[in-house]
A and B are shown apart, each in its own frame.
Chain A
Amino acid sequence: MESYKGLSPSQFFYRNREIAGFSNPVRSLYQAVRELLENSLDATETHGILPEIKLEIKPSNNQNDKITIRIEDNGIGIPITEVPNVFARVFYGSKYVLRQARGVFGLGVKMAVLYAQITTATPIYVKSSIESSETEYEYRLFIDIEKNLPIVLELNVRKKRKKWHGTIVELTIQGNWPLARRRIEEYVRRTALIAPYATIRLITPESSIEYKRVSRKLPEPPQVGKYHPKGVDIELLKILIRSADRKMRLLDFLTKYFDGVGKKTALNFCQWAGFNPDHKIGRLTLTDLEKLSNKMHVYNKWRRPKPLTLSPLGDTLLKEGVKRILEPEFVTAISRPPSSYGGNPFIIETALAWGGKVPVSDTPMLLRFANRIPLLYDESVDVSRKIIDAIDWNVYKVKFPAPIAIVTHICSTKIPFKGVGKEAIAEVPEVEKELNIAIRETARRLRRHLSRIEKMYEIKRKEVTISKYMDEVTRALAYILNNDGGETIIKQKLMELLKKEIKRKAIVRGGIKSAAKAPCSR
């Protein structure tokens, strides 16, 4: 007889760790670094703290396949009682609310802990302190895989000697640093691009790279929001109803739990969908819920989702980030107004960098981000790539090979990923449209820039062309005049005239309307 037993979440992920990205020593190391770095950023920027992060990667005890990752941040810290759950209990976290965040399920870091535990049999080390606490505390933790509960191996509590808050995490996993190195370095580099307000130090066996913050301005943190009625499903309805008063009327339920739904909208919807607004939500049957969910999807008179739950970077910060990492000659950025797809608000931001240290290539280099997470894989199937490749760049005066890079950033409470890899954005029409608008606008700005440069060179060319003949002309004229001293005077006069001419040209080319009134050469 077969024995049936339920799997604890820890067991499930232990058996299916590749889903979370822990499939092999290269990918696992990369994934672990990602999870830790993203947690640190979420612990800082989301709470109005300028991130100060130090990430250290070192082979453990000269064993090349055992790698220790240590990360220090100046985040809000984790309350002493919460540390074990946060790091050693799957599906436990503060992110179960509707707002933009790097991670959502609180899964990643626990997977790293789990992975460390099974590959190197070492516990995770956590040191943390919150601002209001007088103490700092150190933990060594394992996860009880069967029970999905933390095992506290060690706990030290000390009085803080200096004022600080933040978290230090250290774990040792099996990994392949030489093979993962380039990806990790690129990941940190791109993270530094999308977080120009962060100072990130990456210390590896080979080098120490510091990305100093170039801005002290943090983007507005996202607010906790309500779900938009278009984005619901039966499960969500059940969860929301469970948390609400069962005697609540449907009308009140809709206005209280959903984004942008007022009394009037709720009434109109109920009438349209054939529901009694006074119906008690506890009495809704599964069939009712299915009908409600469908109708909420289809109804097209909901207000647009509020983007307050989103935290775009903004064009200024994005530009700063691009400047610090790509060091281009020209950069422009756009932060589009909010839009939505299927009840999920989203914002598209793009930047275009040109020249300087941007590598020259046969097609625009693409750097993609989703909720400030760099996407390094599956570029070829990403909607941004598709849009960029469909553009006739000749229109924008770009002739390949060219030093051009494009950055795309999508912020959403639900990123429309393609597949489970979470590395490519799907071709959702609304998203595609916004990306297209933004990329083309930056391309137009590039064209304007290139035209200006072209004109500048044209003016310079004129100056060069005429200047190079200056000596021949003045020498000849002075000889004709039979005047030995004449050469200097003629040349001086001619130079003055040329300067005036160039100035006049620059003004006219610059498109200033008053050019006609500009001082004439006469």
Chain B
Amino acid sequence: MPRKHRVVDEKRVLRRLERFGKNIVDQIMKDQPPRIVVPIRTLANTVWSRKERILKLGSRKAIREFFDIGESKRFMQTVLMLSIIIRARREGDYPTIRDLYYTGKHTITYVDEYGRRRTEETWDTQRESNAVIQDIEVATGLLREHMGIMHDTKGKIAGNMIIRSKGSDIDLSRMGSGAYAIPPNVDNLEIRRVDADWVLVVEKDAIFHRLNEEEFWRKNNCILMTGKGQPDRSTRRMVRRLWEEYSLPVYILTDSDSYGFYIYSVYRSGSISLSYESERLATPEARFLGLTPSDITEYKIPKNFIIKATDRDIKRAKELLAYPWFKESKAWIKELNIFLKKKEKVEIEALSGHGFKFLSRVYIPEKIKKKKWIE
């Protein structure tokens, strides 16, 4: 029985945003200098929750006071962004973060303390406006998707499942050679039915399409997904929902290199910069199917298919070893040490040396059957 997912109620989102703003006005009316309390989003306030096995935001909060000249600009930006988001919600618009950047970009003219006329932009770069959006997310506990903010998506999904979106049922097993493009706000989708035993997430788009052409998901009764490299928020959210609501095991397939390992790490535990969303985006039980550094010998990858690891790969792998979820896994320590020792990386396609169907007919089924994944 799937766990019930509640579609986000737009009215509630709007109320919560308004409450956040009204709270500031209330302070002013009570003759208090206005301030906003925002949980800190830096690495120093990111903690590893062993119990939940995800990265979470710590308890430290920053108090942003309008009358503190070091923070008054950020305060103004936060309130400005809040009003723009509220307007979009009131008017039923779905702006992108770039739209928000442009909508809020004004020129302020003023006279400085020496009497000179000067101008200043409400924000100069999108970095600044993005940072404010993140502040509002953590301060209100709402994700940007809930607030109707769009972003580029690149995730795809195919398999035996039916979803409902904007009143239509969509059968993801009937997409032909194509696949369903995962939309920005995954929580607005209603998953009506899932008929699958597990989820396979592949790093590469090309591999996804090859497996989709072979109808791999139909033959193996699974859901096939890709995040096209480093996954975006909606792909991660979709993976999480399938695991959380349908208890499906999730397998991640990437190249055997530091970059691939890190992609797994993001699906599993979240990224540091978005640690406040881990609870909604991370899948702590995701399994790493391969390719592992020990696969190189195990599956007799030809020597000329092996790529030498660069200094950056090595540096990255060392960093991964320090991550708590890798540090606490014997299998991962073993694999990462092999990688660091041999300094060898391979792509998924290297398995094609054993034939094009080796991946779908042998490698994946065998690894799952023999439980040769690592966590």
Contact = CB atoms under 8 A, between A and B. Distances in A.
Interface of A: 457, 460-469, 471-473, 475-477, 479-482, 486, 490, 493-494, 496-498, 501, 521-522
Interface residues of B, number: 34
B21 A472 contact: no
B25 A477 contact: yes
B25 A469 contact: no
Nearest to B122: A472
Contact of B75 (A464, A468, A469, A475): A469
A294 to B, nearest CB: 65
Contacts of B28: 477, 490, 493-494, 497
Contacts, number: 94
Nearest to A489: B29
Contacts of A464: 110-113
A472 B80 CA distance: 7
Contact of B33 (A467, A468, A481, A521): A521
A277 B15 CA distance: 109
A493 B29 contact: yes
B113 A472 contact: no
A498 to B, nearest CB: 7
B82 interface: yes
B87 interface: yes
Given A460-B113, A464-B113, A480 B83 contact: yes
A473 B78 CA distance: 9
- Which one of A461, A472, A476, A486 has the highest number of Cβ atoms from chain B below 10 Å of its Cβ? A476
Given A468-B108, A481-B22, A494 B34 contact: yes
B67 A473 contact: no
A44 B67 CA distance: 61
Contacts of B79: 472-473, 476-477, 480
B59 interface: no
B76 A480 contact: no
- Which one of A477, A481, A498 has the highest number of Cβ atoms from chain B below 10 Å of its Cβ? A477
Contacts of A480: 17-18, 21-22, 25, 79, 82-83, 86
Contact of B110 (A468, A482, A493, A521): A468
A521 B32 contact: yes
Nearest to A483: B25
Nearest to A475: B83
Contacts of A472: 76, 79-80, 106, 108, 122
Given A465-B72, A467-B110, A477 B32 contact: no
A168 B282 CA distance: 103
B44 interface: no
Contacts of A466: 66-67, 69, 72
User: Lowest 6 CB-CB distances: which A-B pairs, in order?
Assistant: A480-B21, A476-B83, A468-B110, A469-B76, A460-B113, A476-B79
Interface of B: 17-18, 21-22, 24-25, 28-29, 31-34, 66-67, 69, 72-73, 75-76, 79-80, 82-83, 86-87, 106, 108, 110-114, 120, 122
A205 B32 CA distance: 69
A82 B238 CA distance: 117
B66 A493 contact: no
A521 B31 contact: yes
Contacts of A468: 108, 110, 120
Task: Determine chain A's interface SS by DSSP, over half rule.
Answer: helix
Contact of B32 (A469, A481, A498, A522): A522
Contacts of A462: 67, 69
A496 B33 CA distance: 10
- Which one of B34, B86, B113, B120 has the highest number of Cβ atoms from chain A below 10 Å of its Cβ? B113
Nearest to A482: B18
A461 B33 contact: no
Contact of B87 (A465, A467, A479, A494): A479
Nearest to B119: A468
B108 A476 contact: no
Given A481-B21, A494-B34, A497-B31, A476 B82 contact: yes
A494 to B, nearest CB: 6
A467 B108 CA distance: 11
B8 to A, nearest CB: 20
Contacts of B18: 480, 482
19 contacts: A457-B113, A463-B113, A465-B72, A465-B73, A467-B110, A468-B108, A468-B120, A469-B108, A472-B106, A473-B75, A473-B79, A476-B21, A476-B82, A477-B79, A477-B83, A480-B17, A480-B22, A480-B79, A497-B33
Contact of A473 (B76, B110, B114): B76
Given A480-B21, A490-B25, A497-B28, 20 more contacts: A457-B113, A461-B113, A462-B67, A464-B111, A466-B67, A469-B66, A472-B80, A472-B108, A473-B66, A473-B80, A477-B21, A477-B25, A477-B28, A479-B83, A480-B22, A480-B82, A494-B28, A494-B66, A497-B67, A501-B67
Nearest to A477: B25
B85 to A, nearest CB: 10
Contacts of B120: 468
A466 B29 CA distance: 18
A493 to B, nearest CB: 5
Contacts of B111: 464
Nearest to A462: B69
A314 to B, nearest CB: 36
- Which one of A457, A468, A475, A490 has the highest number of Cβ atoms from chain B below 10 Å of its Cβ? A468
A469 B86 contact: no
- Which one of A461, A497, A498 has the highest number of Cβ atoms from chain B below 10 Å of its Cβ? A497
B35 to A, nearest CB: 12
A412 B309 CA distance: 87
Nearest to B67: A501
A463 B69 CA distance: 9
Contacts of A469: 66, 72-73, 75-76, 108
A462 B87 CA distance: 31
